[in-house]
Structures are given as C-alpha cells and as structure tokens.
Structure 1
Amino acid sequence: MQEARLAIKVALMGLGAIGRGIARCALQKHDLEIVAAIDLDPHRVGRKLSDVVDAPTPEVVIGSDAGAEMRKAQGGILLHATGSRLDRIEGELAQALTAGLCVVSTCEELSYPWLRHPEIAERLDRLAQKRKLALLGTGVNPGFVMDRLPATLGAVCGHVGRVRVTRVVDSRSRRKQLQLKTGAGLNEEEFDRGVDEGTIGHVGLMESAALASLGVGLEVDEVDESIDPVEAEEDMQGDDFTVPKGGIVGLKQVARAFHDGKEVAVLDLTI
C-alpha cells in the first residue's frame, strides 16, 4: 500500500488579484495546506481568507505580522505576490528564507535577478544556500510564455543561433492594473513620463530576453529595451477606459539581448 503523503504547509503573502488567483489554485492541490495568509491592506487584515478569495478554505484569518504568520508554515513554502521590483521586496524574501520557508514569487525581476540587481541576487542566493532552501521567481510572463516555452521548443531544434518571440495581448478585458501599465487613455507627454518613471511598461521583458537566450545555450552580455505607444485605429472601449481613434491604446515593447555585439534574441510584446 502506498504511504500517504503529508501536505506541504503554505503561507500566502500578497492578496491582490494575482495573489487571490494563486490562492484559489493552491486550494485545488491536495498536497498543499494553506495555514497562513499575509497582507497589509487594512480592508483584508482580520478577515477570513475564504471571504477574500471567494472560495472555501481552511479556517485561516489574514494577518499583517509577516513574521508571526510565516512561523505557522515553517518548513513549508511561501507563495509570494507583493511586487514586481526586486529592490522593494528583498526584505520580504530574506525574512521568509530566514524563517525557514522556500519561496515561490511572482516578482518579475526575480526571474533573472542578476540582470538588474546582481548584488541583491548574490545576497539572496547566499542566504538560500546557507538555509538549504529554494527561491524561485516565476509566472506566466516572465517565467513561461516568452522565455521557458521558446527555450523548451528550441531544445528539439538542434543548434539555435537566434531567438525571436512575438506576443500580442488584448488588454481591454484584463485587470485594471495591467491596463494602467499600458498607458491606455494617456496623452503622449503622460505616456513618456510614465516610461521614464517606470510606471508604464511590462516589467520583466528584459529578464525574459536573457532567459530565452540562455535557455537555448546562447551567451548574453547586454540587454536593451524600447517602449513606444500604440495608437488606436478606431474608437476603443475597455472595462475601465475609452480611447478615441488616434489616442494611445497600449504599448509596443521590444527587448533585445546581445553577445559580443551580435543580437541573439528579440522579444516583441504588444499590449
């Protein structure tokens, strides 16, 4: 008779739209047991997790004390979904590792942290190895569609000299946070300012370009990126915005990876 497997203890951190989706997926896994949930939003703290994720869950109440909640899942996993910028969430990741938790995070920059944050990457890697724990940055993009998937497909192609990936996303029915990142409804000055400030654009495309290249065996020593507005060819209506013909309805973002001055990957994303 096969011996029953013990469920892995899970703590959730970050219960925005993505975090709630992660929670619902985790609830469908019989080998995962959600024992804690962490969020700083006062409208969520103190509420039952089941009420926030709109799904039946164990009797878990959302807390704001990360340390106390993490201790409930010691020896298990933290499913982390609080931010895209690694320098802003390094402390949360380090706290989880110190508490004895493996971490799976949606932080886009964590998918290949050595590109923008080599010092942070080194600190976290050193801490994870010291604690003998895993730390993984993953997601749909980066994490799969424009990096792992082409790398996997390239594995059956023999030698690959260059990678090109094109993705087009219709954001009209997507969550409001994504629509805001595309610049839909802004004028050109507002769009350019958002790009400069880092509020407009998809975080992680440069990381995906590096990962896709490395995944097919190509070396990378430089990655650059451009972000340009996309104009509406007709009047367009989204769930949270209206854009007249000629107005900005989204963006075209292109990341290029190079080795010794030669282009080895182009990732072309239109949202």
Structure 2
Amino acid sequence: MALNCIFFGLGVVGQDAARALLDYGVTISGAYSRTSHVGEDLGTVIGRAPLGVTVEPVTAFEARPEIADVAIFCTTNAFDELLGDAMACAEAGINVLSIAGNALYPWTFQPEVAERLDKAAKRGNATILGCGYQDGVMVHLTGTATSMTTDLTRIEMDCFSDFSRLGESSTERLGLGMAPEAFPVEESVSSAADATRPASTMGQVLDALCDYLGLGRAELSYYLGPVVAEAVTPNPFNGEEIAPGHIIGMEEVVTATTPEGIALVGRLTAKLFADGESEYYACRFGGAAPYELRLTPAYGLEWTTGCLVNRVADMPAAPAGLITVVDLPAPRFRGVAGPR
C-alpha cells in the first residue's frame, strides 16, 4: 500500500498495527501518545530498527492538510473523544480509522456527536470509520453466514474474551476482586423509535448487523453485570488472588426482535481466564435447519489489528463523512496484492 499513516496510541493493538503496516509497505510519518514511549523512536518501541520517527505527546499534534493519508486512533473506546484530534484530522482532509468500540455504529448511540464528526469530515472531504474485530467477524462474517439459509428466525452470538490481554487501564473500572454488589448492574430497554441508544458494544453490533442484512431497526433490551470467580483466580495486574464469589469480569447481553420477527442475541463475556480457558466466538443461526459458526480459539486483539490494518487501503476511496462498516465491502487480507 503506497500510503502514509500517523498513529495515535501505542498499546498492544497500536504497536501490532504499526508493525503490520510497515510490512505492507505503508509509510508511518508520525506517532503520538498520551504518556507512554514519548521521546522514543517508533521503530525501537515496536521492536524494529529505528525509523527516525520520534513518538511525540498528543498535546504537540497539529492537524495540517496532506501530512498523512490516514490517521489511526488506538486510544479510546469513547466515541465522543474523537471530537478532539480525530475531528481535527478529518477537517484537515486526513482520513480517520478508530478501533473505539462505540464508533462502530454510532448514529443510533450519540447522534449529535456523530453529526458533528460527519460535518467536519465532509468539510475536509475525508472519511471517519470505526472498525476492528466487530467489523470483520460480528458483522460481515456473521452476515455472510446467513446466506446459507432461506428460513432465518434467530441469530445468537457469543464472544468470550480474556480481559488480562487488554491491559490494566482497560479493566480498572471493573472493580476486579470486589464483591459483586460493588458492580452497578445496568438493565434497560431501547425502543426502535429511540433517537439515542445506551452505550453498548453488542448493541451497536446488532444495529449494524440489522442494517447489513436489510432488516428494520429493532427494539433492544440491555443487561450489563459482573462475572464472579468460581475458584481462586490470580489477578495479573497486582499479583493478588481473587476469592471465589468476587468480580473477575463483566457480561453484556443485548437482545432484539426486528420488525420482520427475527430474534437476535449478542452476549459479550470479558473476564480474567482460569487455566484451560481460551477465547472463542460462536454464532448460532435458527430456522428449519439450524447451524452454528464457531471460531476457536479466537484471537480478539490480533483480529482487531488485522481488521484495522486491512481497512487502511479502503480509506482513500471511501465516501466522505462519518461512515460505518456497513457502507464498505467486507475487509480482506491486503498483505500481498495490496488495494485493487
């Protein structure tokens, strides 16, 4: 890919994506971080030879036209944080890719923020897109798997993820090791007519999947609650042990029924794993001849990196504005042939 990228955020996904893009022939001309690796050479940070690109603090960034083709944001899960440097990039004509889970299908989640980002991107004739694991697996792969039936009544997704791989900053608000009463359980219902949905990873996945399949907007029911340990579980972040009955993660369950009568269920379990557990993604399709799609073991971080990297080639020709993964073809491997 004969493209030039700049990076924001150099955690696990950011570093993996930088290595992959360099292997794809992409130029990386800038890298920015809130705290970690500031002042270091990007090549050294990612375990490669020095690149002559020094990691700078995000406060030093100034968006200017033509400094990059694509700005990659691996910094946050919060959609409204894109109103900062990401919006400035888009307004300057730089396409933006973000792995923020809440940027996957944001028009039903924070429509006012979405409109601001959309207008800024259109002013700059640039594209803003949220992508990652959900793009390649939960929307496009799951949607394609429905092509094998003419009698679809139900889609039920299970995503089982290892929280310890995400890093301590991603889990600090979960109350690991605390009693389950300390976790604020959330339950709500969002009607099809609601302009604003609750913040929900699986809710956005179901909205995007319905759109991809051409189904009507569904009423969604949400549940977010704790997962507790069944046995003593080591906490990899502080070296302590979590006693049985105490928090080791969270579970989000979203259910929907479309106007066409198709039921959808999305279940995300993210927790500290016990010995012998591994990540997986499973999707069951109901109808006259039910079947199951199962990916095991799953590699959530690696798949997020792969979908992010392979989306870069789609950005220059993508429509201007804030778009969703439904507006683009399914992501595919770009490492050999490059964009076509």
Report the TM range for the smaller structure's normalisation.
0.7 to 0.9
Find the aligned partners of 1:157 and 1:261 in 2 and give their Cα distance: 16
1:67–1:95 Cα contact (<8 Å) kept: no
Q: Tell whether the 8 Å contact from 2:93 to 2:121 is kept in structure 1 after alignment.
A: no
Q: Which amino acid aligns with 1:269?
A: L
1:260 positional shift? 4.7
Aligned-residue offset at 1:73: 5.4
Question: Over residues 8-30 of structure 1, what are the superposed CA-to-partner deviations in whole Å (9 max), with x where a residue is unaligned?
Answer: 11101122333222222222211
**Residue in structure 1 matching 2:181, options 181, 186, 189:** 189
**Contact 1:254/1:269 (<8 A) preserved:** yes
Q: CA deviation at 1:36?
A: 0.8
In the superposition, the TM-score normalised over structure 2's length comes to: 0.67
| Cα distance change, pair 107–174 in 1 and its aligned pair in 2 (3 A) | closer
Cα distance in 2 for residues equivalent to 1:160 and 1:246: 39
Give the counterpart letter for 1:17 in structure 2.
V
- AA in 2 matched with 1:39: S
1:1-271 counterparts in 2 under 5 A?
7-30=2-25, 32-41=26-35, 43-64=36-57, 68=61, 70-71=63-64, 74-140=67-133, 142-158=134-150, 160-172=152-164, 175-180=167-172, 183-192=175-184, 204-240=201-237, 241-260=240-259, 264-271=263-270
Alignment partners' CA distance in 1, 2:105 and 2:231 = 38
CA distance in 2 between counterparts of 1:145 and 1:162 reads 17
Q: Are the counterparts in 2 of residues 231 and 247 from structure 1 also a CA contact under 8 Å?
A: yes
Q: Provide the rounded CA distance (Å) in 2 between the counterparts of 1:270 and 1:65.
A: 32
Secondary structure of the corresponding residue to residue 166 of structure 1: strand
Counterpart-to-counterpart distance in 1, 2:249 and 2:255: 20
Quote the Cα distance in structure 2 between the aligned partners of 1:266 and 1:83.
Answer: 26
Other structure's SS at 1:214 match: helix
Q: How far does the alpha carbon of each residue in 1:215-239 deviate from its partner, in whole angstroms, 9 at most, with x for none?
A: 2222224333211222222222242
Aligned to 1:63, the other structure's residue is in SS state strand
Contact kept, 8 Å, 2:164 with 2:236, in 1: the verdict is yes
How far did 1:61 drift? 0.8
For the 8 Å contact 2:91–2:122, the answer to whether it is kept is: no
Contact map agreement 1:82 1:89 (CA 8 A) in 2: no
Query: Is the contact between residue 71 and residue 99 of structure 1 (CA under 8 Å) also seen in structure 2?
Result: yes
* Distance of 2:236 and 2:29 partners within structure 1: 35
What CA distance in whole angstroms lies between the structure 2 residues aligned with 1:34 and 1:75? 9
Residue type of the partner of 1:229? P
What is the CA-CA distance between 1:188 and the residue it aligns to? 2.0
Count of residues in correspondence between the two structures: 257
**Whole-Å separation in 2 of the counterparts to 1:57 and 1:94:** 30
Q: TM-score, normalised by structure 1?
A: 0.82
8 Å contact kept, 1:160–1:216: no
What is the CA-CA distance between 1:166 and the residue it aligns to?
1.2
Q: Tell me the amino acid that sits aligned with residue 264 of structure 1.
A: A
Cα root mean square deviation, aligned: 2.8
Post-superposition Cα deviations, 1:30-85, rounded to whole Å, max 9, x if no partner, equal 1x1001111221x5322211232222352101123567564485351111112111
Secondary structure of 1:186's match? coil
Secondary structure of the 1:114 match is helix
Identify if the C-alpha distance between structure 1 residues 45 and 72 changes in structure 2 by more than 3 Å, giving closer, same or farther: farther
CA deviation after TM superposition for structure 1 residue 171, in Å: 3.4
- Structure 2 CA distance for partners of 1:268 and 1:181, relative to 1, 3 Å: farther
Which residue of 2 is the match for residue 199 of structure 1? Answer: none
Structure 2: give runs of 5+ residues left out of the alignment: 188-198, 271-340
State how far apart, in whole Å, the 1-side matches of 2:56 and 2:63 are: 10
Give the aligned residue type for 2:84.
Answer: G
Shift of 1:94: 1.2
Alpha-carbon deviation of 1:159? 5.5
For structure 1, the residue ranges without an aligned partner over 5 or more in a row are 197-201
Q: Which has the higher contact order (CA 8 A, sep 6+)?
A: 2
